[in-house]
């Protein structure tokens, strides 16, 4: 697993509406991870948490942290 993959995922999800919709519309957390893995990304929740702090601006980070706190992923 890789922090670089988490960075790549965050960049991709900002620019790829289809992937974003698939992730957001997945039925549950396991289904979201399945979509993410199916798109070729391989990272852990901890790696994603760390990446959101480093790779996103304040407003983007707030949005992701709200989802993560809600146990979205």
pLDDT at position 68, please?
64
pLDDT at position 69, please?
58
- Looking at per-residue pLDDT, the higher value among 54 and 48 belongs to 48
DSSP 4-56: HHHHHHHHHHHH-HHHHHHHHH-SSHHHHHHHHHHTT----HHHHHHHHHHHS
Model confidence, pTM? 0.77
- The yes-or-no verdict on residue 66 having pLDDT over 90 is no
């Amino acid at each position: 697993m890789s922090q670089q993959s988490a960075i790549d995922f965050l960049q991709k999800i900002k620019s790829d509406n289809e992937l974003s919709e698939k992730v957001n519309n997945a039925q549950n957390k396991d289904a979201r991870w399945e979509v993410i893995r199916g798109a070729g990304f391989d990272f852990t929740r901890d790696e994603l948490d760390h990446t959101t702090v480093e790779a996103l601006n304040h407003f983007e980070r707030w949005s992701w942290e709200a989802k993560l706190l809600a146990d979205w992923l």
